[in-house]
Amino acid sequence: MFARTIAAAFLVALGVSTTTLLAQLATPTPDSVRVTVSMNADGTRTTYEFDSPHHRAVATTTTKEGKTVGKIRYVIDDAGRFVSGEVYGPDDQLRFKTLYKYDDTGKLTQEIQLGPDDAVRNKIVYAYDKTGRQTGYSVYDAAGKLIRQTPGVAPRPTTPPSKRK
């Protein structure tokens, strides 16, 4: 489920509809790289390559014709979670970076998005209920001002991202 959440965030960042995935195909390879291909409702294809032994992963979205729409290069930890990601556009130019933070139980609690210059753009804080089920999220701008949130989620107090490293 975690990988699907991150994959959906990647597709949304690239402007791809995630409402329907037409097919998924997982292909093991002999060199310990796991490849998964998702066919998206709009005809694009997203290929995920997980190289756990080297703590990295790559997600590449292409058009029906095979032209690259975007790519994310991830660093993953020993538990298989994303630590950071760099999002590239179709021209292979870095658009932004994302840092991922987790609580002691392994739940994703924050995503901090940085520009190519490492300046904070925004922060996403995830909310969970008492059973550990994700209930929503809040988005803060670089100054720590709440700019968007899912209904029913109380904003969490935050130190402005510009004051943190």
pLDDT band at 163 (very low <50, low <70, confident <90, very high): low
| Model pTM score | 0.70
pLDDT digits (tens, 9 = 90+) for 109-122: 999 999 999 999 99
All structural domains of the chain with their residue ranges: 2-118
3-state SS, one letter per residue, for 108-152: EEEEEEECCCCCEEEEEEEEECCCCCEEEEEEEECCCCEEEECCC
pLDDT digits (tens, 9 = 90+) for 77-106: 999 899 999 999 999 999 999 999 999 999
Single out the residue of 41, 50, 63, 42 nearest to residue 3, CA to CA: 50
